Amino acid sequence: MLSEVRGIARSLLGATEAERARLEREYLSKLSRIGVLSESASIDDILDLEIRDLLERRLQTLVFRKGLAKTLYQARQLVSHGHIAVAGRVVSVPGYVVKRDEEPKLKYFEHSPLSKSDHPLRKIVAAAAAGQAVAES
């Protein structure tokens, strides 16, 4: 995906001035909606992107960063098993690219057992986030 993003940016550099301005604006707004770039980014910022920037937008990574899972592996498992919802709908693809406006709507699926605050896994994850150890029963 990174090579595709950079390839499009390089092709924009070779376009005519009028066409380049229009396509560049559209492409930068698309990458901004995804959350990879800021609103004030330029074409050079696209060429400076690293693979880490794209990996940070994956559902699996955001579930872990938001504190819904204890590890990245567990985040992947929760997503794959349908315990995570984005904007109220289950997304079971760990590589799903979460848009910037969807990020606050990321939570446990309401029909999942994990949506209950007294679920044992939620206690373990909360304790791990607080830096405490919890005895698993």
CATH number of the domain at 93, please.
Answer: 3.10.290.10
Q: Do both 38 and 80 map to the same domain?
A: no
Q: Give a yes or no: residue 136 inside a domain.
A: no
Mapped onto helix, strand or coil, the DSSP state of residue 84 is strand
Q: Do both 38 and 70 map to the same domain?
A: no
Among 27, 54, 81, give the residue marking a domain's end: 54
Q: Give a yes or no: residue 35 inside a domain.
A: yes
User: For residue 96, is pLDDT > 90?
Assistant: yes
User: For residue 134, is pLDDT > 70?
Assistant: no
Q: Do both 49 and 67 map to the same domain?
A: no
To the nearest whole percent, how much of the chain has pLDDT over 70?
Answer: 96
Q: Do both 43 and 77 map to the same domain?
A: no
Tell how many helices (H) and how many strands (E) occur in the chain.
7, 3
Rounded Cα distance between 41 and 31, Å, is 9
Task: Provide the β-strand partners of residue 107.
Answer: 85
Domain count, the chain: 2
pTM: 0.80
Rounded Cα distance between 132 and 113, Å, is 23
Among 54, 69, 87, give the residue marking a domain's end: 54
Q: Is 53 or 5 the better-scoring residue by pLDDT? A: 53
CB 67 within 8 Å of CB 125: yes
pLDDT of the residue at 10: 79
Per the structure, the complete domain to which residue 96 belongs is given by 58-130
Q: Give a yes or no: residue 135 inside a domain.
A: no
DSSP letters for 52-66: HHHHTTBHHHHHHHT
Q: Do both 15 and 68 map to the same domain?
A: no
* Amino acid (one-letter) located at 12: L
Q: Give a yes or no: residue 71 inside a domain.
A: yes
